[in-house]
Amino acid sequence: MPIQLEIVTPEARIYSDEVDSVVLPGTEGEMGILPAHAPLVTTLKPGELRLMKSGKETSMAVGEGLVEVTGTTTRILTDMAIHADDIDEKAVDEALARAKSALETLKPGENDEEVAATMAAIQRATAQLHVKRRRRTI
Amino acid sequence: MPSTRDIRRRIKSIKNTAQITKAMQLVAAAKMKKAQDQAANGRSYAELMNKILVALKGSAEEGSHPYFAEGKGNRTLVLVITSDKGLCGALNTNLLRKLVNTDLGPEVDFVTIGRKGASSLARLKKSLKADFPIKDPAAYSMIRPVGQFLQDQFLTGEYRKVLVAFNNFINTVTLEPAIEQLLPVNPVTLGGKRDFEETHTEVDPASLPDYEFEPSANEVFAAVLPQYVNGTLYQMVLEGRASEHSSRMVAMKNATDNAKQIIKDLTLEYNKLRQAAITNELLEITTAKMALE
């Protein structure tokens, strides 16, 4: 019995297909979801999501979000979801460097909102890089 | 009396203008479609978000979260979403007029998206807190910092509430300036349909399974709310964008129609003038001939 996996962002439905299992980066640690899982709602932190479909593993980078699990479906609400193959490592590297240098020029306390936004950008970029690099070493 | 050459020149110049407004009309129509699609794409996100919120409402203690209580201060923070460019009819003027005519509170600070709103509010000597440039098409990653900023400002307690003023897109010819409350979140309507959404299915709490919440319902709730606020904000920005493009499309269509009417009038005048000139010439020739006989 497969699980219906759906990944949606505010911009689009990124993924919608039947999969055998999902491993996601929950705030409490990595979590594997198999069919007939008990109904669950939990939070997601930026990281790598792996899904198994007919013996093949696919990796995706996901941002902060929420997960809703029922016995037959897993729905993920996140602000970012990118297929590992679509990650442009160079662009992400540049974004990361840009965010880090921006963080240095920002003084904490003065521009808290910008600091927070930059930190979130760094987390997302790091998550993407992590997914990309890990896949290459295999 | 203008000469035929003057009229010809005017016709040519108006034809050029009509061509430009026609092109802008077509571009605006395409962009409007895109903005509408974008809003429609976000709908499944909003629906799932509402489902989780309804499930959470039954399990978490709503009162515990600061997003549900008005801030202690007496100031109001208003985010104004306008367009960056002009030539879009009375869109921005209508929104600003509604803003000026609405009682927002004793002391109001503004945050803007869009250059038109920022410059108008600056002219009116209002207190501007921040201005966020959002490109077109609007990406969610650009809205997040705006949401973060508004929420941080609200959490300082200085503001009683946070409002958003935007143009609500009803259909291509109907736009409505709207002022909605973003924070504090209304616990009664939370998870239900928001006023500016076109289609929506209400979630029945009884149809939901008995979820387990990890780490706890309250903590999940605390994590969901900022995302809910950001998602709502994003939908509002998309509404504003769709309104902008549809309003520009209509304005440009009117401009093209007017230009065509002027060309028609001028052509008529030109032909009359030309005919008069020919008649005149013929008259002269005949008179000259008769004088010779």
Q: Residue B163's pLDDT is what?
A: 92
Closest CA to A10 of A81, A116, A89, A91: A81
User: Is B49 within 8 Å of A77 when comparing Cβ atoms?
Assistant: yes
What is the token pair recorded at A90?
């160079």
Q: Find, in chain B, the residue whose alpha carbon is nearest to that of A13.
A: B41
Q: Give the closest-approach CA distance of B212 to chain A in angstroms.
A: 4
Tokens 């209400």 correspond to B202
Distances (CA, A) of B185 to A61, A126, B49, B93, B147: 31, 32, 14, 28, 14
Q: Do β-strands A65-69 and A40-44 pair in parallel, antiparallel, or remain unpaired? A: antiparallel
User: Is A11 within 8 Å of B41 when comparing Cβ atoms?
Assistant: yes
Distances (CA, A) of B144 to A21, A64, B38, B62, B227: 31, 12, 16, 24, 9
- Write out the E strands in B142-247: 159-171, 174-183, 212-214
Q: Are A60 and A15 in contact (CB under 8 A)?
A: yes
Name the CATH superfamily housing domain B38-248: ATP synthase, F1 complex, gamma subunit (3.40.1380.10)
Q: Pick from A64, A77, A112, A123 the residue to mutate for testing the B interface (most B CBs within 10 Å).
A: A77
User: Is B224 within 8 Å of A28 when comparing Cβ atoms?
Assistant: no
Do A97 and A62 reside in the same domain of the chain? no
User: Is B220 within 8 Å of A12 when comparing Cβ atoms?
Assistant: no
What are the pLDDT digits (tens) for A60-69? 888 888 898 9
- Write out the E strands in B190-276: 212-214
Do A75 and A31 reside in the same domain of the chain? yes
Q: Do β-strands A3-8 and A13-19 pair in parallel, antiparallel, or remain unpaired? A: antiparallel
Please tell me the distance from the alpha carbon of residue B152 to that of residue B71, in angstroms, as a whole number. Answer: 12
Which residues of B fall below an 8 Å CB-CB distance to A? 38, 41-42, 44-46, 48-49, 51-52, 55-56, 139-141, 144-145, 148-149, 152, 209-215, 219-220, 223-224, 227, 230-231, 234-235
Q: Find, in chain A, the residue whose alpha carbon is nearest to that of B138.
A: A11
What are the pLDDT digits (tens) for B191-250? 666 666 655 566 677 777 778 887 888 888 888 888 889 888 998 898 899 899 999 999
Do A53 and A78 reside in the same domain of the chain? yes
User: Is A8 within 8 Å of B48 when comparing Cβ atoms?
Assistant: yes
Instruction: Write down the mean pLDDT value for chain B.
Output: 86
Q: Give the closest-approach CA distance of A102 to chain B in angstroms.
A: 14
Q: Residue B265's pLDDT is what?
A: 95
Do A74 and A105 reside in the same domain of the chain? no
- At A117, the pLDDT band (50, 70, 90 cuts) reads low
Residues of chain B with CATH 3.40.1380.10: 38-248
Q: What's the distance, Cα to Cα, between the start and end of chain A in Å? A: 29
Find the domain containing A29 and state its range. 3-84
Do A9 and A55 reside in the same domain of the chain? yes
User: Is B144 within 8 Å of A28 when comparing Cβ atoms?
Assistant: no
- With a CB cutoff of 8 Å and minimum separation 6, the contacts of A70 are A37, A39, B209
Please tell me the distance from the alpha carbon of residue B208 to that of residue B54, in angstroms, as a whole number. Answer: 9
Q: Are B88 and B58 in contact (CB under 8 A)?
A: no
User: Is A11 within 8 Å of B149 when comparing Cβ atoms?
Assistant: no
Please tell me the distance from the alpha carbon of residue B118 to that of residue B85, in angstroms, as a whole number. Answer: 12
What are the pLDDT digits (tens) for B89-115? 889 999 999 998 988 888 899 999 989
Please tell me the distance from the alpha carbon of residue B11 to that of residue A108, in angstroms, as a whole number. Answer: 61
What is the number of domains present in chain A? 2
Residues of chain B with CATH 1.10.287.80: 4-26+249-292
Whether residue B61 has pLDDT greater than 80: no
Q: Find, in chain B, the residue whose alpha carbon is nearest to that of A80.
A: B141
What is the token pair recorded at B90?
């009375």
Do A8 and A72 reside in the same domain of the chain? yes
Q: Residue A104's pLDDT is what?
A: 76
Chain A 34-53, residues with CB within 8 Å of chain B CB atoms: 38-43
Please tell me the distance from the alpha carbon of residue B117 to that of residue B99, in angstroms, as a whole number. Answer: 11
What are the pLDDT digits (tens) for B151-200? 888 988 889 999 999 998 888 888 889 898 888 887 777 766 666 665 55
Do A19 and A61 reside in the same domain of the chain? yes
Q: How much is the ipTM here?
A: 0.76
Please tell me the distance from the alpha carbon of residue A94 to that of residue A92, in angstroms, as a whole number. Answer: 5
Q: Give the closest-approach CA distance of B230 to chain A in angstroms.
A: 9
Identity of the residue in B38, B49, B149 whose CB atom sits nearest the CB atom of A11:
B38
Count Cβ neighbours within 10 Å for each residue of B112-128 and write b for 16 or more, e otherwise.
bbbbbbbebbeeeebee
Q: Give the closest-approach CA distance of A75 to chain B in angstroms.
A: 8
Residue type, A11: E
Q: Are B45 and A10 in contact (CB under 8 A)?
A: yes
Identity of the residue in A28, A114, A120 whose CB atom sits nearest the CB atom of B214:
A28
**Which of chain A's residues have a Cβ under 8 Å away from the Cβ of B234?**
10
Name the CATH superfamily housing domain B4-26+249-292: ATP synthase, gamma subunit, helix hairpin domain (1.10.287.80)
Do A75 and A132 reside in the same domain of the chain? no
Do A27 and A80 reside in the same domain of the chain? yes
How many angstroms from the chain centroid is the CA of residue A106?
Answer: 27
- At A138, the pLDDT band (50, 70, 90 cuts) reads very low
What is the token pair recorded at B246?
């549809």
Secondary structure of chain A in the HEC alphabet? CCEEEEEECCCCEEEEEEECEEEEEECCEEEEECCCCCCEEEEECCEEEEEEECCEEEEEEECCEEEEECCCEEEEEECCEEEHHHCCHHHHHHHHHHHHHHHHHCCCCCCHHHHHHHHHHHHHHHHHHHHHHHHHHC
Q: Which helix (H) or strand (E) holds B128?
A: strand B127-132
- With a CB cutoff of 8 Å and minimum separation 6, the contacts of A128 are A61, A82, A87, A92
- With a CB cutoff of 8 Å and minimum separation 6, the contacts of A40 are A67, A68, A69, B211, B212, B213, B214
Q: Residue B260's pLDDT is what?
A: 95
User: Is B212 within 8 Å of A65 when comparing Cβ atoms?
Assistant: no
Residue type, B135: K
Q: Find, in chain A, the residue whose alpha carbon is nearest to that of B231.
A: A10
Q: Give the closest-approach CA distance of B27 to chain A in angstroms.
A: 22
Q: Give the closest-approach CA distance of A11 to chain B in angstroms.
A: 5
Whether residue B52 has pLDDT greater than 90: no
Do A9 and A77 reside in the same domain of the chain? yes
Residue B82, classified by CB atoms within 10 Å of its CB into exposed (0-12), middle (13-18) or buried (19+), is buried
Do A40 and A102 reside in the same domain of the chain? no
Tokens 């979000």 correspond to A65
Do A27 and A58 reside in the same domain of the chain? yes
Q: Give the closest-approach CA distance of B127 to chain A in angstroms.
A: 18
